[in-house]
Chain A
């Protein structure tokens, strides 16, 4: 079993839709949770960074962490074609130095 599981998609939604991206993890020691966005042929870009359980909101993006069920989510409201990318979840136990990545979900927002 992989430490971090993520549905690879692909996922296609119409512009303006609410997008839900999810990951599950198995290691209860993970305390730090991140979402990265990666455009084609580019490096990952940090979108959201949360510590422990709870919600964090930044503009159209909301990250949720439920440590009891080992489930992390990223919601994108009012999705735009420019949101089309691969979204990677990542977790860490002690700090951001040793990240464990999900396999990434490829998202396409259709105009």
Chain B
């Protein structure tokens, strides 16, 4: 199956700092990637759709200035959590669309803890 990686897998940072999370499609090109957030024992909440070469589309209630998304190439999207606060602590998961099968493949997730 298609492989999507995320880096880092886990990050702990101080309140007020910014954290960048990378999402890569390793064996296919993805014009569209998604960023989700997942709280413990809860389902995935779509944060934004990342489109290669254009601005991301954010879901209602998601602050675009706080969660900066850059999709600079067909295999890489980044999510930067700016001025992180403890309430931003969560499990962040990306996914990428494999065009040939119109299927969404997920990365392994990044656990962010803001102290």
Segment of A42-50, A52-60, A64-72, A76-84 in the binding face: A42-50
Give the residue name and chain of the A residue nearest to B107 (CB): A43
B107: chain A residues within 8 A (beta carbon): 43
B32-A97 in contact (CB<8A): yes
Number of interface residues of B (CB under 8 A): 23
B91: chain A residues within 8 A (beta carbon): 41
A105 CB → nearest B CB, Å? 11
Cross-chain pairs A/B with CB under 8 angstroms, 28 sampled: A6-B43, A8-B41, A41-B91, A41-B109, A42-B109, A43-B93, A43-B95, A43-B107, A43-B108, A44-B44, A44-B106, A45-B106, A46-B105, A46-B106, A95-B102, A96-B97, A96-B102, A96-B103, A96-B104, A97-B97, A97-B102, A99-B46, A99-B104, A101-B44, A103-B43, A104-B41, A104-B42, A104-B43
A78 CB → nearest B CB, Å? 23
B103-A46 in contact (CB<8A): yes
Residues of B within 8 A of A (CB): 1, 4, 6, 32, 41-44, 46, 49, 91, 93, 95, 97, 102-109, 111
A-B contact count (CB 8 A): 49
B46: chain A residues within 8 A (beta carbon): 99
A88 CB → nearest B CB, Å? 6
A49-B32 in contact (CB<8A): no
B44-A88 in contact (CB<8A): yes
With beta carbons under 8 angstroms apart, the residue of A42, A49, A101, A102 that contacts B103 is A49
B55 CB → nearest A CB, Å? 17
Give the residue name and chain of the A residue nearest to B106 (CB): A43
B109-A43 in contact (CB<8A): yes
A75: chain B residues within 8 A (beta carbon): none
A61 within 8 A of partner (CB): no
A24 within 8 A of partner (CB): no
B41 CB → nearest A CB, Å? 7
Q: Which residues of chain A in 1-48 are interfacial with respect to chain B, using CB atoms and an 8 Å cutoff?
A: 6, 8, 36, 41-46
A101-B43 in contact (CB<8A): yes
Q: How far is the CA of A107 from the CA of B47 in the complex (A)?
A: 27
